[in-house]
Structure 1
Amino acid sequence: MPQRVVAIDGPAGAGKTTVARVLAARLGYTYLPSGTFYRALAWRALRAGTALDDERALAELADATAIEVRVEGDGRCRALVDGVDVTGALGGSAVGEAASRISVFPAVRRRMVALQRRFAEGRPVVAEGRDMASVVFADAEHKFYLDATVEERARRRAADLRALGEPADEARLAAELAARDSRDSSRQAAPLCQAEGAVRVDTTGLSVEEVVTRLLGEIRRGRQTS
């Protein structure tokens, strides 16, 4: 029986986070931000001075670190690492780049997948990430793949960074996103891809509300035919 999960995959900047948060609120589901788990471990690795290319050391660090993600009533997430709230430290570009680098390792992904599945136990969720529909929740009730042009995604990422008070060059961000796409889609463990049965939605030029409306329509149609 399919899990009560709406799984949303896609590259960075495709709109997954905002769309998933709004969609979860509309459905009365819990929002599951998979990237927060990786960012929390990346933050811990940076603090510990763990080499980001040392899979064994990263796996040991993951096993020794207590990572908890809590979702508030408004859909906002809080991340605790060994009991300390580190939410405010996870949004920057350095942590994001580190999270992307450590996510290529199978041992790290196994640990994060276990945490994500535990998070979803006993409750319906809208999960967003890069392998939600293909790996973590392969039996999800509804699957989507969001995409957008790299230029559009760079504009969105630049706006996010500026909101955090960080400088942002859209051309540089576009190049970084293209490199990350290549890394994510070619990694050995759970490469970024459109899962079988997932509905692809190009979010270029669309508002959050337009994307959410499209996804809600697909979900309703799926329920009517099931």
Structure 2
Amino acid sequence: MRMTFIIAIDGPAGSGKTTTAKRVAEILNIIYLDTGAMYRAVAYFVLLRLGETLEEERIKNLLRNIEIKFKNISNERRIFLNGQDISNEIRNEKISQMASKVSSLKSVRDFLVDEQRRISKGTSLVAEGRDIGTVVFPDAQLKFYMDCSIDERAKRRSLEYLEMKIQADISDIKRQIAERDKRDKERAHAPLKMAKDAILIDTTSLSKEEQINFVIAKAQKIKDCI
């Protein structure tokens, strides 16, 4: 029987997790699990049905009506909410901020952790998020924590917005990132932190290729041992 393995990548917003995880999954020909997109999907649904409320009981009831699936379409990983492709709709700052807020709710985290573990059954994958190596997959064979200076992260996010033709002031972006960092690190349930057995990667001065190659080199050693 073919052995499976999991690569966990955690870190704050804008540290390079998504870019790295996607490319590593492509190179190793394994599944890429974007847990952040799953929280964004829940945030999108909450905003759609309840507005900006954070009443946990109402949101908990709403979770019963949520089905999240990933599909590969034209070599691109797309996320579907109740049969609707919402991949583009969830990529904006309003959804990002709401995702950070709903992720602090235990009912939401429990629901999505169960979903993430269900997706992982019997398959190799690389998952990225904020509690992958500490909560979702504590037994992952390989764990990384990607960090980066807040100035560099704000710069990267600004460039992403420019590509999407979204106007945003870099000082506002920096403030929003700082607020999100605070929420993610101080929340009561599954706060953002580095797993004790994770490998730290400071991406502040690394190119995308350098951080990807670093992870691949470590991953190849794991693959060769199983």
- After TM superposition, the score normalised by the length of structure 2 is 0.93
**Could you tell me how far apart the structure 1 residues matched to 2:185 and 2:22 are?**
24
Q: Indicate the RMSD between aligned Cα atoms, in angstroms.
A: 1.7
After TM superposition, the structure 1 stretch with the greater mean CA deviation from structure 2, 64-73 or 170-179, is 64-73
Matched, 1:44 2:21: no
Q: Is the 8 A contact 2:17 2:128 kept in 1?
A: yes
Correspondence for 1:185: 185
Q: Is the 8 A contact 1:70 1:78 kept in 2?
A: yes
**Could you tell me how far apart the structure 2 residues matched to 1:113 and 1:126 are?**
15
**Could you tell me how far apart the structure 1 residues matched to 2:165 and 2:60 are?**
32
* Percent identity of equivalent pairs: 35
- After TM superposition, the score normalised by the length of structure 1 is 0.93
Correspondence for 1:10: 11
Q: How do residues 65-80 of structure 1 correspond to structure 2 at under 5 angstroms? A: 65-72=66-73, 74=75, 76-80=76-80
**Could you tell me how far apart the structure 1 residues matched to 2:134 and 2:72 are?**
24
SS in 2 for 1:31: strand
SS in 1 for 2:192: coil
**Could you tell me how far apart the structure 1 residues matched to 2:72 and 2:186 are?**
31
Q: Is the 8 A contact 1:3 1:139 kept in 2?
A: no
**Could you tell me how far apart the structure 1 residues matched to 2:4 and 2:143 are?**
11
**Could you tell me how far apart the structure 1 residues matched to 2:72 and 2:135 are?**
22
Which amino acid is the alignment partner of residue 12 of structure 1? A
SS in 2 for 1:140: coil
Correspondence for 1:138: 138
Per-residue displacement from partner, 1:34-59 (whole Å, max 9, x unpaired)?
Answer: 01111111111111124432111111
After TM superposition, the structure 1 stretch with the greater mean CA deviation from structure 2, 15-24 or 54-63, is 54-63
Correspondence for 1:105: 105
After TM superposition, the structure 1 stretch with the greater mean CA deviation from structure 2, 79-88 or 44-53, is 44-53
**Could you tell me how far apart the structure 2 residues matched to 1:98 and 1:118 are?**
25
**Could you tell me how far apart the structure 2 residues matched to 1:149 and 1:67 are?**
33
Per-residue displacement from partner, 1:90-121 (whole Å, max 9, x unpaired)?
Answer: 11111111111100011110001111111112
Q: Is the 8 A contact 1:37 1:69 kept in 2?
A: no
Q: Which runs of 5+ in 2 are unaligned?
A: none
